[in-house]
Amino acid sequence: MVHFFVSVDEGQKNIISQQVIKIVEEICTFSEIYEAITEGVFGVCNVRVYVGKGDGKWNNLREGLYDDISLMSELELKYIRFIVHTEENNIVQQNQQFERNAFDIMMEHSHKPYFPSIKREDTQRDVLYNDVIALLKENQKNGWRVD
């Protein structure tokens, strides 16, 4: 029989504050702990599991709810945090991901070729200049080729 500190959060909001729970030997996955503490109120979709030693550093479990509890004793961990991601949280995170900043815009433009603007054709030199720019633009449409 082992004891752990368990809490459940929804995004930044704490839903179930930290509680000490006793784990019996029949429980072997984080999913079973999650179901027991939430009593089935929340679904198991979009739940991330974090574990820690109580020093404020949390480690995300890649397998999440389906990971085995035995790793807690192997790594000497005592704290479990379940974070439920709702649709609202997902939409906010997606909006934050799609917000463009100046650096992103500069990086996008750095991959696009820049060609000087064409000149008014007063002389043969201006005509040649415009023809060279048009030729470069045409050849760049399919990417630059090295023969």
Q: What is the CA radius of gyration of the chain?
A: 29
Residues 75 and 135 in one domain: no
Residues 87 and 119 in one domain: no
Q: Token pair for residue 41?
A: 């109120």
Whole domain around residue 58: which residue ranges?
2-92
Identify which of 93, 131, 91 has the alpha carbon closest to the alpha carbon of residue 115.
131
- Give yes or no for residue 105 having a pLDDT over 90: no
Global pTM reads 0.56
Given pLDDT bands bounded at 50, 70 and 90, which one contains residue 127?
very high
Q: Token pair for residue 121?
A: 């054709």
Q: Give pLDDT tens digits for 61-79.
A: 888 888 888 888 888 889 9
Question: What's the domain count of the chain?
Answer: 2
